[in-house]
Structures are given as structure tokens and as C-alpha cells.
Amino acid sequence: MPDPETIQRLAELIVRFGANVQPGQIVTINSEPGKEDLARAVADVAYQEQARFVDLDVFDVYLKRSRVLHADEATLDFVPPWYGERMRALGEHRCARITLSGVAAPHALEGLDPARVGRDILPATREGMELLNARSTNWTVSPSPTKEWAALVHPRADGEQALELLWEQIARVCRLDEADPVAAWTSRLDALEASAAKLSERRFAAIHFEGPGTDLTVGLLPGGNWRGARFSTVDGIVHVPNIPTEEVFTTPDPTRVDGVVRATKPLFVAGALIERLRLRFEGGRAVQIDADQGADIARALAARDEGAGRLGEVALVDREGRIGPLDTVFYDTLLDENAASHIALGQGFGFLIDDADRDAINTSQIHVDFMIGGDDVAVTGMTTAGETVPLLRQGTWQI
Amino acid sequence: MPDPETIQRLAELIVRFGANVQPGQIVTINSEPGKEDLARAVADVAYQEQARFVDLDVFDVYLKRSRVLHADEATLDFVPPWYGERMRALGEHRCARITLSGVAAPHALEGLDPARVGRDILPATREGMELLNARSTNWTVSPSPTKEWAALVHPRADGEQALELLWEQIARVCRLDEADPVAAWTSRLDALEASAAKLSERRFAAIHFEGPGTDLTVGLLPGGNWRGARFSTVDGIVHVPNIPTEEVFTTPDPTRVDGVVRATKPLFVAGALIERLRLRFEGGRAVQIDADQGADIARALAARDEGAGRLGEVALVDREGRIGPLDTVFYDTLLDENAASHIALGQGFGFLIDDADRDAINTSQIHVDFMIGGDDVAVTGMTTAGETVPLLRQGTWQI
């Protein structure tokens, strides 16, 4: 049994600090079967904060399994129109949005045809990405442990023990073990924002990653900014999109990415595991994709649309975070991406770009992060004048 | 553990016979936490039948508990606009709809202020009622046992045993114990429709109920028809709205209901139990409402809007059904209403009325059935000429 007090502390952090729910707001909770305890605690705190309504949306990946197994090929990417309409309404009504991450059903998509799996990107939607870029909602993503997820992360522990261990780790990385989690987060977020400000000031032309299997140059857009930690909506509501978060990131030039890169952690995407992913980029596009496991799934994702084989994000993570030291693969992007520097295939972030350059960002229906950083991966900034500036060495900031 | 074969047989009956899902249809599943096994089996069969998409909607009554506890009084009946818009879209797209009934969380609303509970009618919506009356979707409601529900129905059995017992009863009343459940249902539905046809032909002016604590006359509309069993959409898709179903019903004259009536079974509504409900009607309106338990909740419901204290349905149930003989209170309207004759406060059924009289039916945001029949309640038809025609005596048809 998870400790009710830990669940309550996480719910309070999510609602009051992460999403920063305002009185009178409609609050959506994206959840999955098995996450009822945290979803209910989140809803309770939201109503205590005088939410106008809490709108629960439960996604069950086992339904996707049946769809991929049985549905007509031509219908696999169909999404009912009310999914997108709801997303647009969430923006119009200036809602707060809370997503509970974590792998609820690790084996639900096992043994399926990867090409068919790749056709269905739900629960992600194009309108969800547009909503994010419009900055009309205050939102956060935070992990919700389940038995199944715990068994995936800690296969050698028995069921209850694995779940307890996962909850302990989640409490640690969410800084719930601090007397004042909000104060601890405020201090860390200030540091992340200081790093982002320094990177933005330098206006680097490109970032270079070099390590085992990796020699990759990622071009940046002239009008691009680095961000981290706190976001603000168009109405000025400050929120923390990821709890935990340890990254600073920007949206790159989708036409100027060249070289090879090797993922430093397994990637769990579309319900399937991709291990030792390797990509070669030319002129911004991934022209070769290999992996020890799940290469087909990675290729299907990158072929989803014109922008799916190009980058929408580059992010740097230092050693000061709490996720890296756990040396645990969580199979959950929220946690794993904050353990290491990473890049993402697919949709870029328009809000990171000065208006003049906004059309230059990558567009796609997907946004899939994968980890490429680590202590043995050197990260270097390249100026427009051709100088190189060390950024991360052994995971420590050099600027 | 429920028997996987029983779950599969019920799912097949629900999809192929109850909702009668057509290739290419979008199918919605209304479910609750704890009903995942049946919801997944239903989705799987629906995709086998070439559903275009299965749209899961999970309602968690514990979120309503938090709302009633904490939310601003003025917001308690707020519903986000996309709830109604989705309902309208389900009609426009000619979707199939499947609802899994059963009491997922018997104690979720315990101890709350009944007046506040009565303000929030979700998961029901006004647009959902309009959708039903438009006959644009083929739909069914069928029970999904859960541990919590089983403990409520069979409090003296232990957890697993109670769940097994409830599943056995559900299998029995859904006729899954027949070699060919569809053939067994077809025979029963034919009998129900024959009774409904006889009642419609007689054009009774009123129906009279007489038994212990009950002496009630329910006026009927001249253009009203009795129905049972199978419905048909405007496009001609035949479906069975309730599995199980044992009733024939019509929509009464909301201005001509007089006398007293006592519920013959407990009523579980808005998450709360109402025991020995007693109502007195004058000129169609419930002018006095009492109960041994939950009277406040019943009064709050009946005060919900102008039509909430008037009748929208009167239904007759004979002794041939499989629910009555189990002598079990299921606390679930779908099952309990099919054990006994009943009436419903709130919205009437426009599709049962000839066009000229359609404006005469009751309108409300609620529709709450409660059981008033039994072996000791005599049901009598009253003709426009003032004659009386015995309809049910000791639960047996007299016509």
C-alpha cells in the first residue's frame, strides 16, 4: 500500500505548485487505470482550491491493443472530432491541466505490428500540441506509480516491495522528502532558469554532442531562446510543466542537424520498448534509424509525417538533479529525460522562438524525446563566429 | 476472479445483440473504475466487429464526493460545455453507445449534504437525454460486477465469494447460462413486445396501482404508446437498450397523477440509498416526499427543476423475468427496475408519443426510476369510458 500521506503531499505539490490551479478554473486530469488513488487526491485538492470543475479523462492502452489487432487499416489514425474540439475548448476556457505519467500497462502493446501501432498516436493529439504552444492553459505532468509500472522498473523485487520502492524514488525525485518541497523546488528552478538565461544570451549557432556512438551537431535558430522550469500562460499564471524537472531546453533548426547519435537510455514509446536507438541525420532529417530492439517502431514513428523525422527539441541536463543518481531506468520520458540531456523528434515549441522565426520550427503530430546525454557525452556550444564553448563536461556546467 | 469466459460471453452479447454495433461506427463505453475487465472485452469485440473507434469515458464518483465537499455552492451544477457538445456529436456521427452499470463505489457519497449532492446530476446530462429521444444512436446498458458492488449486494459473503455470487446472478439474468443467449433473449423480447402491443391497442386513459401503502392513478396521454425490449434508431438499427430487460413502459401525462405510492425496493440514486420512499401526488406533482432513509436526497432531486417532481415513465413488469425470483436487491436501477413495475420522476420519452402530443410529455434534467410493483400490488387499466381492466394480478398478465 502506498503511504496515504505521500500521495497527499504529491497531490498538493501537483495542484498548488505544478499546475498552480486558480479559483474558478476547470481542471482536467489525464489518468490511466491503476492511478485512481492519486487522481482522486489531486481532484480533492483542486476542489479545495475552488476549482470550478474537475474533468477526468482516463486512457486505457488495452483498448489501443484491440484496435491495432482488429481494426481496418484505413481507420487506425482516426480520432473522433470531439477530441480536438475539447482541446480547443480547454484553451478558450483557460483551463488547468494535470497529467499523471508512469507506465500503467507495460505489456499492453507487446507482439503487435509496429507499423500499425505507429499509426495511432493517442492519447497525444495534434490539437493538444497546439494547445501547449498557445500557452492558454497552466499545466503539469507528474508521475503516478502503479503496481505494473513498479514491476517493470524493479523486476527483482516482489509486487508490494517494488511498488514501495518506486513510491520512495518518486517521493525523492519530487522532493517530497524535504520539509518544504515548494522551497526546495523554488531553489532548484531558480538555478535551472539561470542556466537557461546564460544559454539564451550566448545565441549559439549550434550545439555539439560527442561521446560513444555520438557525434551530432544540432543547429539552433537565430531567434531561439532556452527555457527551463517555470512557464507562464498568456494570462500570467506561472506553472511548472514537469514535476520533477531538471532540464533546460530549446527548439532547434529542423534543417540543420547532422551526424550520428546513440540513445543512452532505453525509450518506452507507443507502449513499446526501443533499446540502443541509433540515428544518422543529414540536413536535419533522420536518414537512418537502427536499434537493438524496436527499430521498426522508431522508423514507423519517424515516418508518421513530414516533420516526424526532424528535431523539435534539444535539452541539456546537469548532474545536480535527483534522477540521474538513482541509476534507474523508469521507462517513462518524464523521469528518464530529466536524468540526461536529450533531443526530441517531432513538433517544436513555438513559444521559445521570437516571432520572426516562428515559422522555422519543426511541425509534426508527434513529439518523442530520447536521451543522448551522460557523463561521457561532452556538450559544446558553437558560436556564429565558429568558436567552441564547453557547456557540459562530466555532466557539470562549464558556463 | 471472474470467469474470463463469462466476461467474454457478456461482452459479445452487449456488442453484437445489445448495442448491435455496425461496421464503421464509433462506439462509446461509459465505465467506472473497477470495470476494466468487461470494458476491455467490450472494446475488443467492438473492434472485431470493425468499429471505427472505441471512445472510453470513465466516471469516478469519488471526484463528485470531493466536489460536493469543497466546491463553491454556485458551481455545483456547472458542466463543461464540451460534455453536451460531445453528446450532440455522438448523434450527428450516428455512434453506438454502451454503458456499464453497477454500483462501482457504494459509499463514495456517504455523509454528504443531500441538497448539495442533488445539484450535481452527472454522469447524466440534459443533452444525453435529448440524444436518447432523438433515436440517432444504437445503445445498451448492461451490468459490470465489481468487488465493491458485490459486497453491497451480498454483505455476508466474503469478498471473492460475493463477487463470484454476483457474477453468477448477472450471468443468470443476462441468460448467459443458455446455450444460445441470443435465441433465449429473442423469445423473451417477442413476448414483451406482444404485451406492449396489447397495451397500446387499448388506449387506456390511466393506470391504477393498488397495494400496501399504494393507491395511485397515473393518467396516460391519448397519443401514447407502450414499448418494450427492442428499439430502432432513425436509421433502422435495431438494438436492445437494456440487458437484462423485462419491462414494458410508456410516458404518462405529467399533469394527471394522483394518490399515494410506496416504493417496494430501496433506491440507490446519486450515490445514496433511499429506503421506503413514499410520495403523494396531486395534479401530477409530488407534493409530499418521505422516506425512512434519504428523504432529503429524494426531495432535492424532485426539486431539481420544474419537471423533476412529475412523472416521465410508467412501466409494468411481470413475474416471468429472471430478476424477481432471485429476491435480491441490487441497488442498481437497471436490475431492480426489471424486478418490479415502476415509475420515474423526470424526463419523459418523446419517441413513445404521436407527434401531436409530443409537447405534452414531462421535461426535466433528471430521470429517476423507482420500484412500486410486486405480487401484492394490483395493476389495473382504466378506459376513457370509465371501465376497469385488470392488467397484473400477483404479477401475472390478465390480458
Cβ pair A63:B69 closer than 8 A: no
Q: Tell me whether A60 touches chain B (CB under 8 Å).
A: yes
pLDDT at position B75 is 97
- Cα(A331)–Cα(A85) distance, rounded to whole angstroms? 31
Mean pLDDT along residues B187-205: 95
**B190 lies in the same domain as B139:** no
Domain presence at residue A170: no
Q: Tell me whether B71 touches chain A (CB under 8 Å).
A: yes
**A189 lies in the same domain as A311:** yes
**Which among A12, A38, A58 is the top mutation candidate for probing chain B, defined by the most B β-carbons within 10 Å of its own β-carbon?**
A58
Mean pLDDT along residues A306-323: 94
φ and ψ of A264, to 5 deg: -100, 0
Q: Let me know: does B350 contact B298? Beta carbons within 8 Å.
A: no
Confidence of residue A174 (pLDDT cuts 50, 70, 90): very high
**A92 lies in the same domain as A223:** no
Cβ pair A63:B40 closer than 8 A: yes
Cβ pair B40:A62 closer than 8 A: yes
pLDDT at position A77 is 94
Cβ pair B80:A67 closer than 8 A: no
pLDDT tens per residue, range A12-30:
999 999 999 999 999 999 9
Orientation of helix A36-48 relative to helix A4-12, angle to 10°: 50
Range of the domain at B258: 182-397
**Which among A37, A62, A93 is the top mutation candidate for probing chain B, defined by the most B β-carbons within 10 Å of its own β-carbon?**
A62
Helix or strand holding residue B142 (H, E): strand B138-143
Helix or strand holding residue A260 (H, E): strand A252-262
Mean pLDDT along residues A307-319: 95
The alpha-carbon gap from B364 to the nearest alpha carbon of chain A, in Å, equals 22
Q: Tell me whether B69 touches chain A (CB under 8 Å).
A: yes
Q: Among B144, B174, B202, which residue terminates a domain?
A: B144
Q: Let me know: does B361 contact B251? Beta carbons within 8 Å.
A: yes
Q: In terms of C-beta density within 10 A (0-12 exposed, 13-18 middle, 19 or more buried), how is residue A120 classed?
A: buried
**B213 lies in the same domain as B132:** no
Own/partner contacts of B149-153, CB < 8 Å, gap of 24 or more, are B149/B102, B149/B103, B149/B104, B149/B106, B149/B331, B149/B332, B151/B106, B152/B103, B152/B106, B152/B331, B153/B328, B153/B329, B153/B330, B153/B331
pLDDT at position A271 is 67
Cβ pair A48:B70 closer than 8 A: yes
**Of all residues in chain B, what percent carry a pLDDT higher than 70?**
99
Mean pLDDT along residues A214-223: 95
**Of all residues in chain B, what percent carry a pLDDT higher than 90?**
81
Mean pLDDT along residues B152-177: 95
Q: Over chain B, what is the mean pLDDT?
A: 94
Give the alpha-carbon dihedral of B143, B146, B150, B153, to 10 degrees.
-40
For β-strands A388-393 and A378-382, DSSP reports them as: antiparallel
**A80 lies in the same domain as A9:** yes
Query: Does B387 score more than 90 pLDDT?
Result: yes
Q: Tell me whether B329 touches chain A (CB under 8 Å).
A: no
Domain presence at residue A165: no
Residue entry with cell 520539509? A179
Residues of A in contact with B75 (CB under 8 A): 24, 52-53
Q: Let me know: does A175 contact A181? Beta carbons within 8 Å.
A: yes
Query: Does A356 score more than 80 pLDDT?
Result: no
Cβ pair B89:A66 closer than 8 A: no
pLDDT at position B133 is 83
**A131 lies in the same domain as A197:** no
Rg (CA), chain B: 20
Q: Between A349 and A269, where is the model more confident?
A: A349
**Of all residues in chain A, what percent carry a pLDDT higher than 70?**
99
Mean pLDDT along residues A221-247: 94
Cβ pair B47:A93 closer than 8 A: no
pLDDT at position B271 is 67
Residues of A in contact with B40 (CB under 8 A): 60, 62-63, 66
**A79 lies in the same domain as A191:** no
Domain presence at residue B187: yes
**B309 lies in the same domain as B375:** yes
- Cα(A279)–Cα(A290) distance, rounded to whole angstroms? 6
| Nearest Cα residue to B220 out of B249, B260, B177 | B249
Residue B85: closest C-alpha in chain A: A82
Least confident of A38-42, A285-289, A348-352: A348-352
| Nearest Cα residue to A229 out of A5, A11, A17 | A17
Mean pLDDT along residues B67-94: 97
Q: Tell me whether A198 touches chain B (CB under 8 Å).
A: no
**A138 lies in the same domain as A203:** no
Cβ pair A62:B75 closer than 8 A: no
- Cα(A7)–Cα(A160) distance, rounded to whole angstroms? 16
- Cα(B324)–Cα(B209) distance, rounded to whole angstroms? 18
pLDDT at position B270 is 67
Domain presence at residue B113: yes
Q: Tell me whether A86 touches chain B (CB under 8 Å).
A: yes
What's the whole-model pTM score?
0.88
Residue A88: closest C-alpha in chain B: B82
DSSP of B305-332: STTTTSEEEEEEE-TTSSSGGG----S-
CATH number where A60 lies? 3.40.1830.10
Residue entry with cell 561532452? A378
Residue A62: closest C-alpha in chain B: B40
Mean pLDDT along residues A345-360: 86
pLDDT tens per residue, range A250-299:
999 999 999 999 999 888 876 678 999 999 999 999 999 999 999 999 99
**A384 lies in the same domain as A309:** yes
pLDDT tens per residue, range B202-241:
999 999 999 999 999 999 999 889 998 899 999 999 999 9
Domain presence at residue B173: no
Q: Tell me whether B37 touches chain A (CB under 8 Å).
A: no
Confidence of residue A91 (pLDDT cuts 50, 70, 90): very high
Q: Tell me whether A79 touches chain B (CB under 8 Å).
A: yes
pLDDT at position A1 is 63
Mean pLDDT along residues A175-194: 96
Confidence of residue B357 (pLDDT cuts 50, 70, 90): confident
Query: Does B282 score more than 70 pLDDT?
Result: yes
Residues whose CB is less than 8 angstroms from the CB of residue B189 and which lie 6 or more positions away in sequence, other chains included: B228, B229, B230, B240, B245
As for how many domains chain B has, the answer is 2
Q: Among B144, B160, B193, which residue terminates a domain?
A: B144
Q: Let me know: does A373 contact A336? Beta carbons within 8 Å.
A: no
Residues of A in contact with B93 (CB under 8 A): 80-81
pLDDT at position A295 is 94
pLDDT tens per residue, range B17-74:
999 999 999 999 999 999 999 999 999 999 999 999 999 999 999 999 999 999 999 9
Domain presence at residue B279: yes
**Which among A22, A67, A137 is the top mutation candidate for probing chain B, defined by the most B β-carbons within 10 Å of its own β-carbon?**
A67
Cβ pair B51:A60 closer than 8 A: no
**B119 lies in the same domain as B31:** yes
**A109 lies in the same domain as A222:** no
The alpha-carbon gap from A77 to the nearest alpha carbon of chain B, in Å, equals 10
pLDDT at position B190 is 95
DSSP state of A5: H
Domain presence at residue A171: no
The alpha-carbon gap from A43 to the nearest alpha carbon of chain B, in Å, equals 6
Domain presence at residue A196: yes
Q: Tell me whether A48 touches chain B (CB under 8 Å).
A: yes
